[in-house]
């Protein structure tokens, strides 16, 4: 994988789709895997071992002016080389998503992308049964979905307006419980 920021290449682990067996989905689209040992959620984020920039396949290759420098200052200059290219624990997965969320915010990424990252962090906390963190990240996802809907930045992505509204409604419902 080539890093979007430093352009260096490294390897990363991915779960092949033929090994992913989803038994069902939660009401907020969280996949419940038939085999809990093979969870594709753990490997959606790429972490550059050289500079620390973290991103998903959904990130744009474009960096708005000055954002590269900001990311290099706030992430890369503090990065202690670390590889996430091996098998990941749920803790590793959460850390990679949090770093991708931070990098995406610094990059001024689309709200729809940041919403998806926050939603996946909430799902990982759900798996760990840490309710307060799940709810915290559901609120972050809701905020980003609302911003995406109001700015229309979901246009041109695989996410439909209907799915945003469903996600928003379900997040609000969970928030009220």
pLDDT tens track of the chain, all 177 residues?
899 999 999 988 776 666 678 889 898 889 888 877 778 899 999 999 999 999 999 999 999 999 999 999 999 999 998 888 888 999 999 999 999 999 999 999 999 999 999 999 999 999 999 999 999 999 999 999 889 988 888 766 666 555 655 565 555 555 555
CA distances 82 to 78, 79, 98, 154, 156, Å, are: 12, 8, 15, 33, 34
How far apart are alpha carbons 53 and 102 in whole angstroms?
Answer: 9
CA distances 154 to 45, 56, 148, 150, Å, are: 20, 16, 6, 10
How far apart are alpha carbons 142 and 59 in whole angstroms?
Answer: 19
Please state the separation of Cα 126 from the chain's center in Å: 15
């Amino acid at each position: 994988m080539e890093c979007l920021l430093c352009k260096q290449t490294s390897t990363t682990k991915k779960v092949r789709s033929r090994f992913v067996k989803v038994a069902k989905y939660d009401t907020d689209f969280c996949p419940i895997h038939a085999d809990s040992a093979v969870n594709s959620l753990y490997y959606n984020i790429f972490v550059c071992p050289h500079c620390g920039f973290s991103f998903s396949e959904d990130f744009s290759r474009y960096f708005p002016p000055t954002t590269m420098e900001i990311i290099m200052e706030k992430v890369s200059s503090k990065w202690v080389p670390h590889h996430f290219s091996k098998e990941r624990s749920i803790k590793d997965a959460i850390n990679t998503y949090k770093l991708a969320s931070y990098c995406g915010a610094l990059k001024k990424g689309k709200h729809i992308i940041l919403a998806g990252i926050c939603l996946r962090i909430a799902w990982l906390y759900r798996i760990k049964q840490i309710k307060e963190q799940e709810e915290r990240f559901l609120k972050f996802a809701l905020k980003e979905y609302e911003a995406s809907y109001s700015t229309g930045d979901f246009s041109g992505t695989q996410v439909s307006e209907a799915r945003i509204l469903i996600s928003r409604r379900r997040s609000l419902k969970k928030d009220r419980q």
